[in-house]
Structure 1
Amino acid sequence: MLGIITPVKNEAENLLRTFNMLINQTFLPRIWVIIDDCSEDDTPIVIKKLEKEYDFIIGLSISERSDYNEVTRYGQVVQKGVDYILSSFPDLELIGILDADIKLKNDYYATLVDAFIKNPDLGIASGRYLALRDGVACQASTTVCGAAMVFRKDCLLSIGGFPKTPCPDTVALLKAVNRGWLIGIAYSTYAIHLREKTSANNYMKRGFGMYQLGYHFFNALLSGPFLAFKKLSFSPLGFTVGYIKGAICTNKITDKEITRYFHQSFQRAIYKTINRLLYRKNISIDIVGDSIIKL
């Protein structure tokens, strides 16, 4: 019923930990596809060893290309796994993404599979998204965890496959909502991101990608300083720097469905602020966030 895709690059140590975590799940996937993206450590050796010892593990590799794009590469690698599952296991109803730096509660997949069975219109789901902050697991986001999300196959097909764009998880959620699918979070289980991603470099990468998605200039200009003040850290300023770098070095994607949504983010923020100041109404106008159901 369930196939898992794990894209890896130089993740030999994490991959073994992920394997031990996965086999201790109360619901095991029928197939686990591990895709090596030109690793320079022992990752290929680890994959071959696991593939040889366990029938449900399949190792694939993707070669370096002249058109390598760090921002969209993740989506390209994941889609290779999607294509393999669709062609080799067409009867699977659910396809999950699992990054190698994620730790799951042992009932994670059992909980999500049960949710999909009970909700035929559920297209994408995950558990709660936690992340390490100074070694402590804290709430990272109130949206679906992209690094441990599960798709209903029909939903994934309806959005054209896994997005080969910046921030592909966000793009996938938006496209799913626009096509009438429900997205949900199972609050009884969780996924923990073990690699802290609060550095200026990570903020820069996100800002660079958000430019490509059509994020409004004024929103980008204000987001970095606002987050820096809120977190009492200079690192979030990297978001604005990355956005400006994107404006200089790259182009926006051509998918109007996506660029329109992100460009209108500034207007939505203004509308929300006016309502809060004039009418003291704290309204939510996030299309994706407003569509999330509790599982």
Structure 2
Amino acid sequence: MRFLIIIPAHNEEDHLSFTLDSLQQQNCKDFKVVVVNDGSTDRTAEVIRKYMDHDPRFETVNLQKSAHQPGSKVVNAFKNGLQTQNIDDFDVICKFDADIILPENYLKTIEKAFQDNPEYGLVGGLLYVEKEGNWGYEGNSNKHHVRGPMKAYRKECFIQMGGLRETLGWDNIDSILLENLGWKEIVLPGLQVKLIKVKGSDYTVRESEYYGRYFYFLGLNRLLAYIASSKEAMKSKSVSFFFQIVKSYEACRTKKLELKISKEEQKTINNQRWKALKKKWLRM
């Protein structure tokens, strides 16, 4: 199987070489890497050039500087990279971050998983972060969800679900849509991916505003959004946090901000959320 790997990168001069080195060291050699230099003002372009000069599998796309918004910016960069390639030449479409270190068997293991399981649509490993000199599981998401920094889609699945959505919540929307189409999302816990930089450290949006916007752009109806907000408030042990999230969500509704999902997809997402809640309640 041939891999197309697209890596959005904005001011990643300190991290990008670790990611690209780990790709060059892969057991699987049949891949192309497109690094999308998203308006970097540091030496990111120079780092990319060093790999391009010595390895024809590496290419780059240069974009003008854009506002850093969670979700939409990174998917916009990804799409710009994707447009430069003929998707028919590849079997697996990957969206990787510019600050991860992949184990040398990452692509080979993903390839085998796809070959042995035709129902697999999205496959990835688990994220690990460094804590006091040791690498440990990040733990910010359930172990059955492939995180945004290391997505690998079977091409047919990627096309059927309409690619990635340029919006906050894109890396949860994809999971729901592909599952609705009959594909499976699979996490391989043996694949431990090191995350160099803490996610969200360069976002300028307040946490409560982030959650409100996230629930809105995910397409959640009001009741589900309020339930999700209450869960986040309980985690923070703050009643005011609930009202702040709701205020952000309602502000988006009032402004009627454009969703990047269709009405039918929105219905699918809400139905899936209800099923998950009912399953959890019955277990309780």
TM-score by length of 1: 0.78
Of 215, 236, 257, which residue of structure 2 is paired with 1:251?
Answer: 257
Distance 2:208 2:33 in 1: 31
Distance 2:208 2:162 in 1: 28
Classify the secondary structure of the residue corresponding to 1:50.
helix
Contact residue 4 and residue 29 of structure 1 kept, 8 A: no
Residues 1:38 and 2:39 aligned together: yes
After TM superposition, give the deviation of residue 77 of structure 1 in Å: 1.3
Change (3 A) 1:86 1:198: closer
Contact residue 212 and residue 250 of structure 1 kept, 8 A: no
Distance 1:245 1:10 in 2: 32
After TM superposition, give the deviation of residue 112 of structure 1 in Å: 0.6
After TM superposition, give the deviation of residue 38 of structure 1 in Å: 0.9
Change (3 A) 1:272 1:157: closer
Give the match for residue 13 of structure 2: 12
**Which region of structure 1 is more displaced relative to structure 2, 265-274 or 174-183?**
265-274
Percent of aligned pairs sharing the same letter: 23
Amino acid across the alignment from 2:6: I
Gaps of 5+ in 2: none
Distance 2:59 2:124 in 1: 23
Classify the secondary structure of the residue corresponding to 1:60.
strand
Give the match for residue 86 of structure 1: 86
For residues 106-255 of structure 1, the aligned pairs below 5 Å read 106-131=104-129, 136-138=135-137, 139-141=139-141, 142=143, 143-197=145-199, 201=206, 204-224=209-229, 226-230=231-235, 240=246, 242-247=248-253, 251-253=257-259, 254-255=261-262
After TM superposition, give the deviation of residue 23 of structure 1 in Å: 1.7
Change (3 A) 1:261 1:134: farther
TM-score by length of 2: 0.80
Contact residue 132 and residue 195 of structure 1 kept, 8 A: no
| Number of residue-to-residue matches in the alignment | 274
Distance 2:240 2:150 in 1: 25
Change (3 A) 1:257 1:105: farther
Distance 2:256 2:45 in 1: 32
Amino acid across the alignment from 1:81: G
After TM superposition, give the deviation of residue 251 of structure 1 in Å: 1.3
Change (3 A) 1:35 1:176: same
Contact residue 37 and residue 77 of structure 1 kept, 8 A: yes
- Give the aligned CA root-mean-square deviation in angstroms: 3.3
Contact residue 15 and residue 196 of structure 2 kept, 8 A: no
Distance 1:246 1:98 in 2: 29
Give the match for residue 96 of structure 1: 94
Change (3 A) 1:242 1:40: farther
Contact residue 126 and residue 144 of structure 1 kept, 8 A: yes
